[in-house]
Amino acid sequence: MNPDLQKLQPYPFERLNALKSGITPPAELAHIALSIGEPKHPAPDFARDTLSDNLDRLSGYPTTKGLPQLRQAIAEWAERRFKLSGGLDPETQVLPCNGTREALFAITQALVDRSAKQPLVVSPNPFYQIYEGAAYLAGATPHFLNCQAENGFLPDFDAVPEQVWQNCQLLFICSPGNPTGAVIPLQQLKHLIELADEYDFVIAADECYSEIYFDEDQPPVGLLQACSELGRHDYRRCLAFHSLSKRSNLPGLRSGFVAGDAEILKQFLLYRTYHGCAMPIYSQLASIAAWNDEAHVLANRDQYRAKFDAVLSRLDGVLNVQRPDAGFYLWAETPVDDETFARELFAQQHITVLAGSYLSRAIDGSNPGANRVRMALVAELDECIEAAERIRRFVDNL
């Protein structure tokens, strides 16, 4: 077996299941899950119709590169959304993928040069655990940058030692962040691009939450947008990852894309051809329909706004929690340690939240997820309101 498999830590939800093991919550209270970032809003009817209307395409093999129409739809969406003055070449700068998780893991395997002396993969802390596992299995070492409240839940990139940048091969950024919802400003993205040029590393921007935000006049900026403003229409050393899971309530479709540096994507396509991860044709056709429609995305944001307003008004004065920049998570500070809070909330109120320390690693004795929990406001409005009222009762009784 690959010895690097021994470096993998239990996934956060495995730890959560162990934490809840043996507990019998009140049977009279329906379970409310705020732990998993799985959208529960209905999938768009047109996506379902497109899938069912094209099931005859099961008889044909899909190509790894995807349909030209899909790559074109993705390129046009990204150009509109991020104001890419130089555009995106759908032939060379776009690749469809089976959701961002698959592509984020795979790009790490393709990019890391394990023959280097100390290859590092740098990522925020807390983080999406795929970043860590992908680094270990590629033969690299993860290096974490703490995201604390005093820094707006963003990494302090200026405090990173030069030796780390020198050994960095891949920098993961997540904006809007999971679990914090923090958005990296445009000037900061431009600075990271300068660092990538100076130290010769690749930036992988996980932007899968970019379409869930509160101000229609100020959508979160993206890495390719920063490139475009710098006149870098080759997007050198830069890759952006997007998905239909959150944007379009289609997590089961497993559809996303990676876009950016054509030279990297050329080699990544070669890797993916051997990897065997072509998206089914009917999924590609449904994806085209989704990328070409914004009405359902606007309606989706309206639903999230209503839930944040309702939940935050009920938790006001009870928990230290603020509306995030974007995304659908609340990153709440807990009055007791996060494991105790999560365990007792389940035991007393039949609500599942994720302990923040499960999403991060202790660095120099400090875990930035300690005494916080992640709450995913993915359920319907009434259920989120019920959860907020139960949480309020729970905290009042602590």
Instruction: Tell whether domain 59-293 is in CATH 3.40.640.10.
Output: yes
Residue 353, token pair as written in the block: 């939240």
Distance between CA atoms of residues 353 and 345, nearest Å:
8
One DSSP character per residue, 222-257 reads: -HHHHHHHTT-TT-TTEEEEEEHHHHTT-GGG--EE
Distance between CA atoms of residues 188 and 304, nearest Å:
27
Residue 55, token pair as written in the block: 């099931």
Coil, strand or helix at 258: strand
Distance between CA atoms of residues 181 and 208, nearest Å:
11
Q: Give, for 357, the enclosing helix (H) or strand (E).
A: none
Q: Which residues is 96 bridged to in the sheet? A: 257
Contact criterion met (CB below 8 Å) for 126 and 147: yes
Query: 372 Cβ partners below 8 Å, 6+ apart?
Result: 331, 332, 333, 334, 338, 356, 357
Question: Digits of tens for pLDDT over the chain (398 positions)?
Answer: 999 999 999 999 999 999 999 999 999 999 999 999 999 999 999 999 999 999 998 888 999 999 999 999 999 999 999 999 999 999 999 999 999 999 999 999 999 999 999 999 999 999 999 999 999 999 999 999 999 999 999 999 999 999 999 999 999 999 999 999 999 999 999 999 999 999 999 999 999 999 999 999 999 999 999 999 999 999 999 999 999 999 999 999 999 999 999 999 999 999 999 998 999 999 999 999 999 999 999 999 999 999 999 999 999 999 999 999 999 999 999 999 999 999 999 999 999 999 999 999 999 888 999 999 999 999 999 999 999 999 999 999 98
**Residue with structure tokens 């009042």?**
396
pLDDT at 147: 97
Domain assignments of the chain as residue spans, ordered by start? 3-42+296-396, 59-293
CATH architecture of 3-42+296-396: Alpha-Beta Complex (3.90)
Record the pTM: 0.97
Assess whether the region 3-42+296-396 and the region 59-293 belong to the same CATH fold: no
pLDDT at 43: 95
Q: Which residues is 232 bridged to in the sheet? A: none
Q: Where are the beta strands (DSSP E) in the chain?
A: 32-33, 94-97, 120-125, 141-146, 168-174, 202-206, 238-243, 256-260, 329-333, 351-352, 354-355, 372-376
